[in-house]
Structure 1
Amino acid sequence: MATPVNPPEEERHDPYAVLRIPEFRLYISARFCITLAMQIQAVVVGWQIYDLTKDPLALGLIGLVEAIPSITVALYAGHVADIVPRKRIIMTVLSVLLFCSLALLFYTLDVGQVLHQFGTTPIYSVIFLSGLARGFMGPATFSFMPQLLPDRKFYANAITWSSSTWQAASVAGPAIGGLVYAFGGVTAAFSVDAALVLLALVLYGFIAGRPLPLSDGPKLNIKESLQTGLKFVFGNQIILSALALDMFAVLFGGAVALLPIFASDILKIGPQGLGALRSAPAIGSVTMAVFMAYRPITFNAGKKMLWAVAGFGACIIGFGLSQLFWLSFALLLMSGVLDSVSVIIRSTLIHTLTPEHMKGRVSSVNNIFVGSSNEIGSFESGLAAKLLGVVPSVVFGGSMTILIVAFTAWKADKLRKLSL
Structure 2
Amino acid sequence: MTDSTFPFAYRDFRLFWIARIFAMLAQSSMVLSIGWQVYDVARLTMSVKEAAFRLGLIGFFQFLPVLLLTPVSGLVADRVDRRLIASLSLMVQWLGAVLLTVLAFGSSVSLVMLYLVSTALGVFRAFYMPSMNALAPNLVPREVLPRAIATNAMAGRAGAILGPVLGGMAYALGPGYAFGLAAVLLLVAVCCLIAIRTRMNAAERSTAHPFEQMREGLSYVFTNRLLLGTISLDLFAVLLGGATAILPAYARDILHVGPQGLGMLRASPAVGALTMAVWFAWRPLRDQVGGAMLVAVAVFGVATMGFGLSRWLPLSMLSLIVIGAADMVSVVIRQSLMQLHTPNEMRGRVGAISTLFISASNELGEAESGFMAALLGPVAAVVVGGLGSVLVAAAWSRLFPELRAARRFDAPKQVK
TM-score by length of structure 2 reads 0.85
Report the equivalent of 1:180.
Answer: 170
Q: Which moved more, 1:395-404 or 1:220-229?
A: 395-404
Report the equivalent of 1:85.
Answer: 81
Matched, 1:100 2:96: yes
**1:294-331: CA deviation from partner (whole Å, max 9, x where unpaired):** 11111111111111112222222333445555444323
Report the equivalent of 1:159.
Answer: 149
Q: Which moved more, 1:321-330 or 1:279-288?
A: 321-330
Kept in 1, the 8 Å contact 2:165–2:264? The answer is no
> CA separation in 2, counterparts of 1:46 and 1:265?
15
Report the equivalent of 2:304.
Answer: 316
> CA separation in 1, counterparts of 2:369 and 2:36?
23
**1:168-190: CA deviation from partner (whole Å, max 9, x where unpaired):** 1111112212222333x444433
> CA separation in 2, counterparts of 1:121 and 1:323?
33
Question: Structure 1 residues 37 and 232 mapped into 2: Cα distance closer, same or farther (>3 Å)?
Answer: same
Superposition map of 1:186-205 within 5 A: 186-205=175-194
Q: Report the alpha carbon displacement of residue 205 of structure 1 after superposing the two structures with TM.
A: 1.7
Q: Report the alpha carbon displacement of residue 350 of structure 1 after superposing the two structures with TM.
A: 0.5
Which segments of 5 or more consecutive residues in structure 1 lack a partner in the other structure? 1-8
Kept in 1, the 8 Å contact 2:62–2:119? The answer is yes
Report the equivalent of 2:384.
Answer: 396
> CA separation in 2, counterparts of 1:191 and 1:392?
36
> CA separation in 2, counterparts of 1:262 and 1:108?
24
Q: Which moved more, 1:128-137 or 1:59-68?
A: 59-68
Q: Which moved more, 1:82-91 or 1:254-263?
A: 254-263
> CA separation in 1, counterparts of 2:335 and 2:376?
34
The code of the aligned residue for 2:162 comes to A
Superposition map of 1:299-338 within 5 A: 299-322=287-310, 325-338=313-326
Report the equivalent of 2:200.
Answer: 211
Question: Structure 1 residues 305 and 26 mapped into 2: Cα distance closer, same or farther (>3 Å)?
Answer: same
Q: Which moved more, 1:201-210 or 1:22-31?
A: 201-210
Report the equivalent of 1:371.
Answer: 359
**1:42-94: CA deviation from partner (whole Å, max 9, x where unpaired):** 33444555677746365544443333223321221001111112122123223
The code of the aligned residue for 2:122 comes to G
- Aligned-residue CA RMSD (Å): 3.0
Question: Structure 1 residues 299 and 79 mapped into 2: Cα distance closer, same or farther (>3 Å)?
Answer: same
Q: Report the alpha carbon displacement of residue 373 of structure 1 after superposing the two structures with TM.
A: 1.9
Q: Which moved more, 1:96-105 or 1:202-211?
A: 96-105
Question: Structure 1 residues 213 and 232 mapped into 2: Cα distance closer, same or farther (>3 Å)?
Answer: farther
Question: Structure 1 residues 196 and 303 mapped into 2: Cα distance closer, same or farther (>3 Å)?
Answer: same
Determine which structure has more spread, i.e. the larger CA radius of gyration: 1
Superposition map of 1:183-262 within 5 A: 183=173, 185-212=174-201, 214-215=203-204, 219-259=207-247
The code of the aligned residue for 1:135 comes to A
TM-score by length of structure 1 reads 0.84
**1:208-233: CA deviation from partner (whole Å, max 9, x where unpaired):** 141246459x6322221111111100
SS at match of 2:287: coil
> CA separation in 1, counterparts of 2:211 and 2:292?
37
Report the equivalent of 1:345.
Answer: 333
Report the equivalent of 1:21.
Answer: 10
Aligned residues between the structures: 400
Q: Report the alpha carbon displacement of residue 35 of structure 1 after superposing the two structures with TM.
A: 1.5
The code of the aligned residue for 1:77 comes to S
What percent identity do the matched residue pairs reach? Answer: 36
Matched, 1:133 2:121: no
**1:1-55: CA deviation from partner (whole Å, max 9, x where unpaired):** xxxxxxxx99xxx797001211111101011111212223333444555677746
Report the equivalent of 1:4.
Answer: none
Q: Report the alpha carbon displacement of residue 163 of structure 1 after superposing the two structures with TM.
A: 0.8
> CA separation in 2, counterparts of 1:387 and 1:87?
43
Which segments of 5 or more consecutive residues in structure 2 lack a partner in the other structure? 46-50, 410-416
The code of the aligned residue for 1:145 comes to A
